[in-house]
Structure formats: C-alpha cells, structure tokens
Structure 1
C-alpha cells in the first residue's frame, strides 16, 4: 500500500482526474485499469479504494490517513473493501465471481461506500466472465468495481463495454530509473554494477519500474542470463534439450514464454534492419534473422502465443519449453548447428 500518490508520480494525472470525478459524483460504477504489467496498477487501485471509503478527506485529493476507514484499510481488514485474484495464478473461477456478486449487493458494513478490486480480470474464463456480467448490468450505487488488466489478453467485449477504461501509462526512462534507484537497497557490487543491473532489469521489464524491482530482488536477471547461455549452447548443439530447458523451467513457464516473446520480437526487428531491445542477445538473433524469412518469425511468435494461451491448463513446462527450443533450433543453418 502506498501512502501518497506521489510515490507513483507517472500516475498523478490519472489520479487527479478520477478524484475530480468522484468529488463531483460522476465516477463510473465500474473502472477498467489498463496498462503495462509492473507500473503500479494494483497499488494505484488499492490507494483509490482507500480514498473512496475515507471519511476524513472532505473533497481532498488524498485520503486523510487517520480516520477509522483509513486505519482499517492500512490493517488490511476493511470489511467493505475486497480483492479477488486468480486461484493458483491461473484463472478467476465462477465461484469467486459469484461471491463477488453477493458481496456487491450487500449494504456497506462500516463505510459509506464499498470497493471491489478484480485483479487480473483478463484471467476470467467464459463462465466467470458471464457471471460477472450480471453484477455489471445491475450496479449497486454504493459500490465501485475496479478491474485490473494485467496482460494483453482481451476481455470479452460485453464486459469491456460496461466499464470505463482508464489507461495507466508507464513512466519515461528517467523517471523509471529514478524510482527504481530510490526503492532498492544498496547492492554489494557497488554503484556501477548496481546501475548496470538496474538498467538491464528495466529493459527486461519493458520500462516498468515495479516489475524491474521484483526482477532484481528475485534474482531474475541472473536467471535470464542462465537461459541465454543455455539457448546459445543448444543452438550450437552443445547441450541436450532437457538440459537446455532447465533454466527456462526454473524461471517459470509464464516468464519463459515472455522471454521468448521478447527474443522473437527482437528477431523480427533485426530482420527489418531495426535494433534489438535486448543488446545481450542481438548477436545470435541477428545471425538467425539473416537466415530466415519474416513469415517464419511470425509463425514462431504465433506458436509462443499459443503456448501462453495454454497456461490456464496443466501443461508440462519441460515439454513446452523443449518444443519451443526445437523450433528455435530449426532457425539455425544446418551446417552451423554443430559449430
């Protein structure tokens, strides 16, 4: 939970607009927060919930921080604010949405308003999405529903059309670097190494500072380097597929697919003469781009996207990674695979 919206300075404009509408009594009953993963959507939604139930704001931009409602929010025990997330990080199930609907129609217990946050609304399945429609179609005026879209997977048009979309932007590079530096503890390697790790993490996070911080704290950058090393060795036929897959599996299948998507996008960029987003992999991808037509790259990206769509099911991570590694291997000229 943030204490002031200044902690996410790139979202201040969106915050001001939402609070202005709230103070005028014109805030929509359902909001859809869209934007890149790792820019603070969840924190922003939680802070907005605090402001909407605050008793001491009296038209101010920020919540007061000391009324009963704010104290309950800070303690994580406010009975009129609930967050629903995917179970087992896969899908939001219909039973969760039914519980959400029951909560939405009940009167507030201690506040004048209720807030429901549906995190990762893009992970609704067909049944849970249809169940949510009833709540959206019959809104309770005492309830604000905030949906967070955490990936590029589209929501059902029937759900999107019943929400007010709010695009939350990513910070510019300088702001992201400043935020990341100020929110990281000093690393043992010293200033220069620390700055290099931060820059690499921000590239991997596509400029999203909260995700970059998570990457650094979890050793994600080092794990990506292990994946890249295995990738290079496998393309040269110096590593068995089951061994090459190990660092990708350790990274987690969803993260491994995201990494391959980044490499695939860089492969497409290099194929048309543009620069790679990740310079660490530009050499090997540049070589592959020079030996393969664009339609093969597009097919690869399509297959990675298909693998991502299967994350909601119990797929075998090792087999999925190995299958994609073999597709990458097919991009190598045959005479070079044993080089």
Structure 2
C-alpha cells in the first residue's frame, strides 16, 4: 500500500482530503495542489493517482481508503505503464503549450482503457501559456465524470483566476525542521557512505531550500551549494563596489537562469521579512539584507520581487541568463546608500 503520508507526514492533511472525498463519493473533479518547490507535490499527485485507479482499495486504521498495491491497476501504475494516467509538464520552452493541453483534452474525453477512471496531472499549472490556459479552461468547464485533474502550482507563481475558481485548492506546507531533517536523514542513509554529504552540507541545504526536503536533497547531493556560495560572494562584493557587474553576473550565470532567479527571489523575500521585523531564511545573507532593510523603505523589497517575476517571464523567450542577472544586480545596487562627497 502507498504510505505517502507516513513517508512525508506534512502531506497528511491534503492526503486525507482525497481519502475522505473518495470514501464519501464527493471528490472534486479538479484539484490545485499548491506548495513550495521540493515539498513533494508530484509525489503526492502520484500517490493520489494510484489510489484513484486502484480496483480494490483497502481501509487503513482510520477507515480511509488506500491503494491495495497488488491489483492490476496498481501493478500497471507501479510499472509506470498505466494507460489511464497522463502527466503534462513544461517542455524546453519552460511553458506548457496549447498542443499539450489539447492532448490532455482528447485524453479526458476518451474512455478509460483498462480501469474505471482516468487521472491527468498538470505539472505545473502556473507554467501554462495563455493559449494553453484558455484551452484547459474549456476542459474544466465540461468535466467528465470518470476523470480527475490534478494541477500542481508552485507557491508565488500565479494561476489564472478563471482556472483557480473552477478547482478546489489544497495547500501543502513546508515541514518543520525536525520533519525535514528526519526525511532527509533517511534518504542519506540509503546512499553509499562515500557519497553521503556532511551534516554541515545537509543543514545548509535545508536552510537554502526553506526546509523543502526534496529540494534540500537535490542541493546537498549536487553542485548548487558551491555555485550559490560563489554567486553570493560576488553579489556581496558587487554591492560594496569591489567588483564590476559583469564579473558578478557571470557567477549567477553558472547557476542557470532559474537558479539565479531563485536566489534573487529568496533574498527579496528575506528583505521583505526583515523590513517587517521578521527573520531571514538565508542566515548567511541576513547581515547584508538587514543593513538594506534598515536603510530602505519596505516597498523596495516588493519592487525587487516584481523585477524577478519580469525576468522569469522573459525566460520563456530564452532570455540571456547573464544579462538578466546583471539587470537584477543593478536594481539591488540602487538600495545601497550613496556616499556623501567631501565638501
């Protein structure tokens, strides 16, 4: 049986919504699952798909249905060969295109091939281009009784209000530090000892990922942390006027555009937190951001977030990562107090 809530307990509330809906035959035809990158939205959607497709769901100790794990539907799903579940995600253009949504629409109106129900996952609904969003809206307005739509949305990335209004929204929170550490430790223990990152690296990965465990695992086992540290050092030196913008931008280019934008966005959010009397998530950048928070009005943080969103929109058109980073660095530099000239 799928034990997604046991493996990732922060998913349990959203998981029980589906279990209760299935038990009481009142499951909505379309769900938006919102949450930060790396909290397990796709794993949750996969578990829901298996449950909805299962021919012989069993009841757990609370009397709620769970996938049996051994019927024909479960076997097909576990082999990643079930014909009645489809997933649609951004392609090289970083958006979900209208042709993909048309394929989804054709899938939803066709009869199930081997089961009683079909499931379509849109990963991610916040990356639909305008034509694709309008095409999906038509599918949502004419729901099929044997189809469940699961739309995944990253926090802070908007979905059209017309789409949102036709779905039930479930929010998956980031786990607390102890839950995140427990999950991460379990995964690290499964690795070869020689490949295991240090405890210091794990803690830093969790900090940078905002306690999103799956993203932290990616950070801890990849090269993101080293690239981030170099970008932050160049950022710090640029803000002090010690290096030119071109040099600092090259360090952000190494992260790729999305990685660079994630850093800038995180710092802008932290600046807003500090301006409001809160604490920064990025503890290593807290001193610099605290200085900027004390010397600038709070609305400047939101202005920087808007600039990041503009750069993210430009990414659809294959924007130059180095150029976008340079433009954002210049916007940040405007927050530094101007030095007074000697009389």
Same fold, judged at TM 0.5 (above): yes
Could you tell me how far apart the structure 1 residues matched to 2:202 and 2:45 are? 26
Query: Which among 172, 184, 194 is matched to residue 198 of structure 2?
Result: 194
Query: Which among 68, 77, 89 is matched to residue 64 of structure 1?
Result: 68
SS at match of 1:304: helix
The residue number in structure 2 matching 1:313 is: 317
Question: Scaled by the length of structure 1, what TM-score is found?
Answer: 0.90
Aligned-pair CA distance for 1:186? 6.6
Deviation string, structure 1 residues 163-219 (Cα, Å, up to 9, x no partner): 1111222212211111111112376598xx822222221121112111111111222
Matched, 1:142 2:161: no
The residue number in structure 1 matching 2:29 is: 29
SS at match of 1:165: strand
Alpha carbons of 1:25 and 1:320: their partners in 2 closer, same or farther (altered >3 Å)?
same
The residue number in structure 2 matching 1:16 is: 16
CA contact (8 A) 1:4 1:62 kept: no
Could you tell me how far apart the structure 1 residues matched to 2:166 and 2:314 are? 27
Note the residue ranges of structure 1 that are not aligned, 5 or more in a row. Answer: none
Query: Which among 254, 259, 265 is matched to residue 261 of structure 1?
Result: 265
CA RMSD of aligned residues (A): 2.3
Could you tell me how far apart the structure 1 residues matched to 2:155 and 2:171 are? 13
Alpha carbons of 1:274 and 1:139: their partners in 2 closer, same or farther (altered >3 Å)?
closer
Could you tell me how far apart the structure 2 residues matched to 1:188 and 1:161 are? 50
Alpha carbons of 1:213 and 1:121: their partners in 2 closer, same or farther (altered >3 Å)?
same
Question: Scaled by the length of structure 2, what TM-score is found?
Answer: 0.89
Could you tell me how far apart the structure 2 residues matched to 1:317 and 1:82 are? 32
Aligned-pair CA distance for 1:231? 1.0
Could you tell me how far apart the structure 2 residues matched to 1:51 and 1:107 are? 19
CA contact (8 A) 2:2 2:66 kept: no
The residue number in structure 2 matching 1:129 is: 133
Aligned-pair CA distance for 1:85? 0.6
Aligned-pair CA distance for 1:67? 1.5
Could you tell me how far apart the structure 1 residues matched to 2:206 and 2:333 are? 28
Aligned-pair CA distance for 1:98? 0.5
Could you tell me how far apart the structure 1 residues matched to 2:302 and 2:57 are? 52
Alpha carbons of 1:306 and 1:2: their partners in 2 closer, same or farther (altered >3 Å)?
farther
The residue number in structure 2 matching 1:225 is: 229
CA contact (8 A) 2:93 2:317 kept: no
CA contact (8 A) 1:122 1:151 kept: no
Matched, 1:286 2:295: no
Matches within 5 A, 1:163-202: 163-184=167-188, 185=191, 194-202=198-206
Aligned-pair CA distance for 1:303? 1.9
Greater Cα offset, 281-290 or 144-153: 281-290
CA contact (8 A) 2:273 2:280 kept: yes
Matched, 1:322 2:323: no
SS at match of 1:183: helix
The residue number in structure 2 matching 1:242 is: 246
CA contact (8 A) 1:2 1:43 kept: no
Query: Which among 232, 252, 255 is matched to residue 251 of structure 1?
Result: 255
Alpha carbons of 1:235 and 1:58: their partners in 2 closer, same or farther (altered >3 Å)?
closer
SS at match of 1:251: coil
Alpha carbons of 1:128 and 1:238: their partners in 2 closer, same or farther (altered >3 Å)?
same
Could you tell me how far apart the structure 2 residues matched to 1:285 and 1:92 are? 35
Could you tell me how far apart the structure 1 residues matched to 2:170 and 2:275 are? 35
Aligned-pair CA distance for 1:294? 3.4
Alpha carbons of 1:62 and 1:224: their partners in 2 closer, same or farther (altered >3 Å)?
same
